[in-house]
Amino acid sequence: MAFSFSPIRKDPKTGARTGIVTTPHGSFHTPAFVTVGTLATVRALSSQDLNDLGVEVALANTYHLHLRPGGKIIGKMGGLHGFMSFQKPLFTDSGGFQAFSLGFGMEHGTGKIGGFFPDEGFQKQPQAEKWARVDGDGVTFRNPITGEKTRLTPEISIRIQHDLGADIMLAFDECTSPLHDYSYTKESLERTHRWAERCITSHKKNRKQSLWGIVQGGVWKDLREESARFISSLPFEGYAIGGSLGDKSKTQMHDILEWTVPLLEREKPVHLLGIGAVEDIFNSIERGIDTFDCVSPTRLARHGYLFLTPKSGGSPENKFRMAIKHKEYQLDKGPIDRHCSCSTCKTYSRAYLRHLFLANELSYFRLASIHNLHFFLRLMEAIRESIGKGRFLQLKKAWLG
Amino acid sequence: MAFSFSPIRKDPKTGARTGIVTTPHGSFHTPAFVTVGTLATVRALSSQDLNDLGVEVALANTYHLHLRPGGKIIGKMGGLHGFMSFQKPLFTDSGGFQAFSLGFGMEHGTGKIGGFFPDEGFQKQPQAEKWARVDGDGVTFRNPITGEKTRLTPEISIRIQHDLGADIMLAFDECTSPLHDYSYTKESLERTHRWAERCITSHKKNRKQSLWGIVQGGVWKDLREESARFISSLPFEGYAIGGSLGDKSKTQMHDILEWTVPLLEREKPVHLLGIGAVEDIFNSIERGIDTFDCVSPTRLARHGYLFLTPKSGGSPENKFRMAIKHKEYQLDKGPIDRHCSCSTCKTYSRAYLRHLFLANELSYFRLASIHNLHFFLRLMEAIRESIGKGRFLQLKKAWLG
């Protein structure tokens, strides 16, 4: 079955809506948290774990997989679905974000739209030394594994994404930094728009995979509006909002969503790239976002931060999480969250998880990642249910106050 | 229920036998491979994984748990069983092996009886600098986490093991090095025997946990025989054969077993400390050993070595294993071992596991550890079945040629 999106229920008071996305590998419900599995694995978890958790959709990173093991190899192994043994809908990004995070993002010390998350897999470089250079035709990266130069263009990105075989592909774009001025952002946006057209041309004969366009334009209203209008004029099957903002720019994110989402064709799904904080999820769903992806549940788990529902003390003040390293948990026989039904909370105590974390035991990373992913997946279920019942704002208030 | 051991079937041609050990946390079948979970976790695996694999018995390390989180904390958390959420029979060692591996073992560059395995959890030190000093009363260690001096004596080891609450405890001993001369080994053995008596005295009032004595004596027949006679004269409920041999001393290990096992009370179980190679398992079971413990299945998994049954190409020449890093597996769609029924082999290809290994992905460590543990657990089942049917030597021949 080819790609389709069916909105189901629109919240009467906000832009929030539920829907269902259908792909050749089955369906997923929106709003959806798209679990990130950068290198064809969600870190520390198996595909069986993802199935047990009820993960409906995941995302892998084209740039990272291009470096290793390479799209050709994954293509020969039956694509990402065969390679990972995960038969559910998958996204791939385009590699465009790395053009930013290894280029200007590194130079400017900034990161993706939800705040700066340097990618763990790469060495941090002095700000002055860029790992990627953008030109009109594409991006030249230095391969951090081999040191060799690697080239990505719209055509190469689409070819790799065809090899990877995800159900949903993203157009190759350039992500700009909040430190870029209007003039650079405008020039970059024109490049991104030309690349979007080239992606569509390259993708033309592929009917199994769905291609979504990316809206850029920095923090400028006219550029964002121009981008939303242009991207929605192209035959994409969905959209993504990209870009980078500094850490303290939540209101800028809200502005960007309010400028762009209403200009996109609303019968198509809209993804927000790299978002994962609880507050951001509520605020962007409220503004019409259907899907997000973020590494934060599993990354924060690995760093010792475990999520808590409001009933168990989670709040905007503590970012809905606790740090398992604290000595107060040394003899704590309770689960991470006594209202959580994940397999970690059903089986292990805070004291045991703290011990595993402090000892850097491998088993910790999986048990913690299971809990955090479960937290986000159940949050999304609750949000979908609230929209279905016309109670989205009440749920938001119960969580955010 | 208290501790008991019931031999079931003796092989008519060799010393091999089957039996069943019953403990307050249930029973396990012998010969048994005792899975090592040093820090109250089998590395990369959860207790649910152990149950799924059919692990019947595991071992945790007293020395490591004494350093963190400490026996007192585990005691307050319901002992190891409660702390780990693993309700099956558990062993603890005594910390005596670390007196060796951090002391003379470090000085002499040698390790446990099955060959040298430096413990990954500790920094390697120049050979001249010992981390542990033995005196008549016990051992003083330097705590590698805090740098503080830590003391272990027979009484302290037993007290910690009482806190840990394993079903089977080991007496506090001194392990000697193959580079020790006769005179030092004899002096050390007398110390180990006095410590064995002190362990029994300290343990007297505890009826829930079973205490096993350790036979030492280096590579000298008279000392080994003296030790076996002395240890079997004490009211231990089982025995362990300890000691260290160099890498090329398989025949010395056979000699030691042939000298000692017949002198022990044969209605009690006999453990061989730190053994895990396939050949060693067959050879020591043939000489009357009932249980072994070894980190090798999980450690070798983490280092990229995956076990193969003879049907799939495993042999003494390749040590029954393959190195997953090799390029020949880059596009290999088959499982690690096509005759293996573990969840890893049922789900993932060699190509995918190779990718995860080369990318140092956390999920690799668990999937590989599951396969290797499954291999050893199924090997033990096959050995028990062969003894039951009087076909132990035929099975040994099929594996070792």
Q: For A3-30, write each residue's pLDDT tens digit.
A: 999 999 999 999 999 999 999 999 999 9
| Contact residues, chain A, for B35 at CB < 8 Å | none
Residue-level pLDDT at B116: 35
Determine whether B93 is an active site residue: yes
Chain A neighbours among B 321-380 (CB < 8 Å)? Answer: 330-331, 333, 343, 347-349, 351-352, 355-356, 358-359, 361-363, 365-367
Cα A378 off chain centre by: 17
**At residue B226, does pLDDT exceed 80?**
yes
**At residue B286, does pLDDT exceed 80?**
yes
Confidence band for A248, pLDDT divided at 50, 70 and 90? low
What is the mean pLDDT of the segment spanning A35-64?
97
Assess A77–B contact: CB distance below 8 Å, yes or no. yes
Residue-level pLDDT at B129: 55
- How far apart are the C-alpha atoms of B102 and B105, rounded to whole Å? 6
What is the mean pLDDT of the segment spanning B235-257?
85
**CA of B26, closest CA in chain A: separation in Å?**
20
| Contact residues, chain B, for A358 at CB < 8 Å | 68-69
Q: Say which of A11, A167, A293, A337 is annotated catalytic.
A: A293
- How far apart are the C-alpha atoms of A391 and A382, rounded to whole Å? 10
Assess A87–B contact: CB distance below 8 Å, yes or no. no
- How far apart are the C-alpha atoms of B124 and B109, rounded to whole Å? 11
Instruction: State whether residue B352 is helix, strand or coil.
Output: helix
CA distances from A279 to A283, A287, A319, A384, A398 (A): 6, 13, 8, 16, 12
- How far apart are the C-alpha atoms of A104 and A340, rounded to whole Å? 41
- How far apart are the C-alpha atoms of B384 and B361, rounded to whole Å? 36
Q: Say which of B119, B167, B280, B293 is annotated catalytic.
A: B293
Residue-level pLDDT at B367: 98
Cα-flanking dihedrals φ and ψ of residue A310, to 5°? -55, -40
Q: Which two tokens stand for residue A41?
A: 């694995």
**CA of A120, closest CA in chain B: separation in Å?**
12
Q: Name the pTM for this structure.
A: 0.94
What is the mean pLDDT of the segment spanning A139-146?
83
Contact criterion met (CB < 8 Å) for B363 and A44: yes
Assess A48–B contact: CB distance below 8 Å, yes or no. yes
Which residue in B178, B142, B177, B172 sits closest to B157, CA to CA? B172
Contact criterion met (CB < 8 Å) for B77 and A349: yes
- What percent of chain B clears pLDDT 70, i.e. is strictly above it? 91
Q: Which two tokens stand for residue B108?
A: 């002499």
Helix A278-286 vs helix A362-388: crossing angle, to nearest 10: 30
ipTM of the complex: 0.94
Q: Which two tokens stand for residue A56?
A: 């409906």
- How far apart are the C-alpha atoms of A330 and B16, rounded to whole Å? 45
Q: Say which of A11, A93, A119, A163 is annotated catalytic.
A: A93
Contact criterion met (CB < 8 Å) for A43 and B361: yes
Cα A34 off chain centre by: 6
- How far apart are the C-alpha atoms of B210 and B223, rounded to whole Å? 26
| Contact residues, chain B, for A361 at CB < 8 Å | 39, 41, 43
Q: Which residue has the tokens 């924060």?
A: A300
Contact criterion met (CB < 8 Å) for B77 and A351: yes
Contact criterion met (CB < 8 Å) for A48 and B351: no
**At residue B150, does pLDDT exceed 90?**
no
What is the mean pLDDT of the segment spanning A390-397?
98
Residue-level pLDDT at A143: 81
| Terminal CA-CA length for chain A | 42
**CA of B357, closest CA in chain A: separation in Å?**
11
Write down the mean pLDDT value for chain A. Answer: 92
Tell me the count of A-B CB pairs closer than 8 A.
Answer: 108
Residue-level pLDDT at B133: 85
Domains and CATH numbers, chain A: 4-294 (3.20.20.105), 306-400 (no CATH)
β B270-272/B291-294 pair status: parallel
Assess A299–B contact: CB distance below 8 Å, yes or no. no
| Contact residues, chain B, for A362 at CB < 8 Å | 43-44, 362, 365-366
Residue-level pLDDT at B128: 42
**CA of B73, closest CA in chain A: separation in Å?**
7
Assess B52–A contact: CB distance below 8 Å, yes or no. no
Which residue in B375, B203, B267, B305 sits closest to B30, CA to CA? B267
Confidence band for B146, pLDDT divided at 50, 70 and 90? confident
Structure confidence by residue, pLDDT tens digits, B33-46: 999 999 999 999 99
Which residue in B373, B384, B381 sits closest to B307, CA to CA? B373
**By the 8 A CB rule, do B19 and B32 touch?**
no
Q: Say which of B11, B93, B119, B173 is annotated catalytic.
A: B93
Q: Which two tokens stand for residue A203?
A: 């993708």
Sheet holding A4-10, edge to edge: A4-10, A17-23, A26-30
Nearest CA in chain B to A350: B83
What is the mean pLDDT of the segment spanning A274-292?
96
- How far apart are the C-alpha atoms of B228 and B66, rounded to whole Å? 29
Nearest CA in chain B to A45: B363
What is the mean pLDDT of the segment spanning B372-380?
98
**Any idea which of A224-238, A323-337, B178-192 has the lowest mean pLDDT?**
B178-192
Pick B85's closest partner by Cβ from A46, A83, A347: A347
Residue-level pLDDT at A1: 57
Contact criterion met (CB < 8 Å) for B355 and A330: no
Q: Which residue has the higher pLDDT, B146 or A116?
A: B146
Pick A363's closest partner by Cβ from B46, B69, B352: B46
Confidence band for A36, pLDDT divided at 50, 70 and 90? very high
**CA of B224, closest CA in chain A: separation in Å?**
37
Neighbours of B291 (CB within 10 A): 28
Which residue in B320, B318, B353 sits closest to B334, CA to CA? B353
Contact criterion met (CB < 8 Å) for B355 and A331: no
- How far apart are the C-alpha atoms of A191 and A135, rounded to whole Å? 9
Assess B50–A contact: CB distance below 8 Å, yes or no. no
Structure confidence by residue, pLDDT tens digits, B16-63: 999 999 999 999 999 999 999 999 999 999 999 999 999 999 999 999
Structure confidence by residue, pLDDT tens digits, A202-221: 999 888 999 999 999 999 99
Contact criterion met (CB < 8 Å) for A46 and B351: no
Q: Which two tokens stand for residue B241?
A: 């054969």
**Alpha helix (H) residue ranges in B68-210:** 71-76, 79-84, 96-101, 104-108, 154-164, 182-203
- How far apart are the C-alpha atoms of A38 and A61, rounded to whole Å? 5
Assess A40–B contact: CB distance below 8 Å, yes or no. yes
- Per-residue three-class SS string for A305-368: EEECCHHHCCCCCCCCEEECCCHHHCCCCCCCCCCCCCHHHHHCCHHHHHHHHHCCCHHHHHHH
CA dihedral over A254, A259, A261, A266, signed as positive or negative: positive
Residue-level pLDDT at B108: 65
Structure confidence by residue, pLDDT tens digits, A298-327: 999 999 999 999 999 999 999 999 999 999
**By the 8 A CB rule, do A355 and A347 touch?**
no
Assess B46–A contact: CB distance below 8 Å, yes or no. yes
Nearest CA in chain A to B364: A44
- How far apart are the C-alpha atoms of A398 and B128, rounded to whole Å? 63
Determine whether A93 is an active site residue: yes
Contact criterion met (CB < 8 Å) for A355 and B39: yes
Structure confidence by residue, pLDDT tens digits, A75-132: 999 999 999 999 999 999 999 887 677 766 666 655 444 333 334 433 344 444 567 8
| Contact residues, chain B, for A352 at CB < 8 Å | 40, 77, 83-85
Q: Which two tokens stand for residue A312?
A: 């168990």
Contact criterion met (CB < 8 Å) for A41 and B349: no
Confidence band for B325, pLDDT divided at 50, 70 and 90? very high
**Alpha helix (H) residue ranges in B54-153:** 62-67, 71-76, 79-84, 96-101, 104-108
Q: Which two tokens stand for residue B223?
A: 């000392």
**By the 8 A CB rule, do B89 and B27 touch?**
yes
Contact criterion met (CB < 8 Å) for B47 and A366: no
